[in-house]
Amino acid sequence: MSRSMGTKRIAMLFRRANSVAVQIPTKKSCAKSDRLLGAGAGRVKAKSPVAWENIEHPTYTLLHYLRRSADACCGAGESFAVNFGDNRRDLPDTLPRRKAVLKTRAVQTLRDCRVLSNCAKRLECGAFTAAFDLLTRSTTSALPSPSNCVHFDAMPVSAKMLSLLRDPLGLDPLELDGDYLVNRAAQRRYPIIESIPVLLEPAGLGPQNRKFQRMYDWMSYGYDFAMKVGGVFSGGKLAKLRRLLATKLALKQGDRCLYTSIGTGADVPYLAEQVPLESVELVGLDLSLNMLRRCKAKIRPYENTSLLVQANAERLPFADRTFDVVFHVGGINFFDQPAVAVREMVRVARAGALILIADETKVVVEKNYQRSPFTRAYFKDAPTDFSPRDWVPPGVCNPVYEEVWKGKGYILTFNVPVS
């Protein structure tokens, strides 16, 4: 492998680590890492214990990522596994059920480590070689996990916003423990991946939710571009519709808003037109981790008052009566249990809160989604006899159903009872 190919391979592995590699390792940067890590493959000796918490360098970011990968091992001495490229985590409680898949991923991960090691030798970078040696010996405890280590594309997470989260399996409070949220009473741990808490139990997802989670994961790469193209072909009608939805919410300063199925955050700019978002606490929730990753850029200016969460809308990880406004756009038509999702929205909404749900009608599903080569595999068997009015629980106030965009979309609004 040539030096240039080795450098490209390392850069690719950074990207596969779901990071934004703004730096490609070079001899100069690797030498800096060697000095920091004291792992110069026999050339540089550590004179004192390494202050890991002070290391802010792309090489350490990769080492930390590989260490997290190794944490998913079945047990001491076994090959570790990591899932590159999608949003499923191979945590210990899920390993027994996916042993064959894990074995394949373990082989791929070890192969990547060997490539890194070979690249490191050609680049004269002892840090990568040391990482490979440590990981393949299963001595993962040698690489700590400092809470303040800097990751690519990381975004600070407000402790106040994190305090809103609850364990979706029982709604117990969660405590922050490094890169995890922990329910100590039930001994459950939920990871925080790239500043996004993952409060999702894969075993609890129904077949529809799993199918469309996969669809949105791959669609996320071109979703924003497709929305821009669609906006041009609609003659601005799509933007007008999004602005209408934002207006109907009537957000006020000091409100706390839950936006389920936030996706890539296409509606966030329109919400910002109505109220300064730094004066609103905004929580965005979605099933697709890839969609949330792309949403981060839109909420980054409001990072102190916003939070993105990967969770199931049918099992919201929030306490009762938490939000002043609940907003949902898209996807609910094909939830496994849309009526349950609506009841969950009512549960987490405060008395008098507005709940707004918007999605396409069956006209769009039948004429577009079931015919498009990009989506028909997911929608060909999807039911089109859904009735959003039937999802509204009894006892709510001011229920209104209206169709917009020449019958292609609907808006359902109602208020939570005061008493």
Residues 370-410 have pLDDT tens digits of 998 888 999 988 889 999 999 999 999 999 999 998 999 99
According to the 3-state scheme, what is the secondary structure of 133-167?
Answer: HHHHCCCHHHCCCCCCCCCCCCCCCCHHHHCCEEC
Could you tell me if 383 and 322 lie in one domain? yes
Residue bearing tokens 């090691």: 117
328 vs 387: CA distance, rounded Å: 16
**Residue 40 pLDDT class (50, 70, 90 cuts):** very low
80 and 14 assigned to the same domain: yes
Task: Return the pLDDT at 415.
Answer: 98
CB burial readout 273-301, b (16+ within 10 A) else e:
ebbebeebbbbbbbbbbbbbbbbbebbee
Give the whole-number percent of the chain exceeding pLDDT 90.
Answer: 52
Q: What does the pLDDT average to over 97-105?
A: 46
Q: Which of 103, 118, 142 represents a domain boundary (last residue)?
A: 142
Distances (CA, A) of 192 to 33, 226, 227, 347: 26, 29, 28, 25
Per-residue confidence at 260, pLDDT binned at 50, 70, 90?
A: very high
92 in the same domain as 17: yes
Q: Is residue 174 part of a domain?
A: no
Q: Is 199 helix (H, G, I), strand (E, B) or coil?
A: strand
Tell whether 279 and 385 lie within a shared domain.
yes
In contact, 330 and 359? CB cutoff 8 Å: yes
pLDDT of residue 109: 53
Phi and psi, residue 398, nearest 5°: 55, 50
For residues 109 and 230, state if they share a domain.
Answer: no
Mean pLDDT of 71-80: 31
The CA distances from residue 380 to 7, 242, 336, 368, 387, in Å, are: 44, 27, 16, 11, 19
Within this chain, do residues 229 and 112 fall inside the same structural domain, yes or no? no
User: Is there a single domain that holds both residue 129 and residue 202?
Assistant: no
Question: In this structure, is the dihedral angle defined by the CA atoms of residues 34, 40, 43 and 48, taken in order, positive or negative?
Answer: positive
The last residue of one of the domains, among 142, 160, 179, is 142
In a domain, 167, yes or no: no
pLDDT exceeds cutoff 90 at 276:
yes
Tokens describing residue 31:
């030498």
- Give domain status of residue 369, yes or no: yes
CATH of the domain at 349: 3.40.50.150
| Residue 183, pLDDT score | 95
Give 14's pLDDT tier (boundaries 50, 70, 90). Answer: very low
Q: Which residue has the higher pLDDT, 43 or 351?
A: 351
Query: Would you say residue 140 has pLDDT above 80?
Result: no
Residue 20 belongs to some domain of the structure: yes
Radius of gyration of the chain (CA): 23
Report pLDDT for 72.
37
Residue 313 pLDDT > 90:
yes
Q: What is the pLDDT of residue 61?
A: 45
More confident residue, 334 or 88: 334
Ordered DSSP codes for 49-96:
---GGG---HHHHHHHHHHHHHTT-SSTTSPP----SSS----TTTGG
153 assigned to some structural domain: no
In this predicted model, what pLDDT tens digit does every residue of 175-222 receive, in sequence order? 999 889 999 999 999 999 989 999 998 888 999 999 999 999 999 988
Note down the domain range covering 36. Answer: 3-142
What is the pairing mode between strands 306-311 and 281-286?
Answer: parallel
Residue 163, in any domain of the structure: no
Dihedral over Cα of 252, 257, 260, 265: its sign: positive
In a shared domain, residues 399 and 314: yes
Mean pLDDT of 151-165: 74
Instruction: Specify if 183 maps to a domain.
Output: no
Indicate the number of domains in the chain. 2
User: Is residue 180 situated within a structural domain?
Assistant: no
Run of H or E residues at 329? strand 323-329
Same-domain status, 130 and 235 = no
Residues 398 and 296 in one domain: yes
Residues 374 and 303 grouped into a single domain: yes
Distance of CA 11 to the CA centre of its chain: 22
Confidence of residue 41 (pLDDT cuts 50, 70, 90): very low
Q: Are residues 126 and 39 in the same domain?
A: yes
Tell me the HSE value of 350 on the side-chain side, using a 13 A CA sphere.
Answer: 8
Tell me the two tokens of residue 96. Answer: 């027994």
Mean pLDDT of the chain: 74
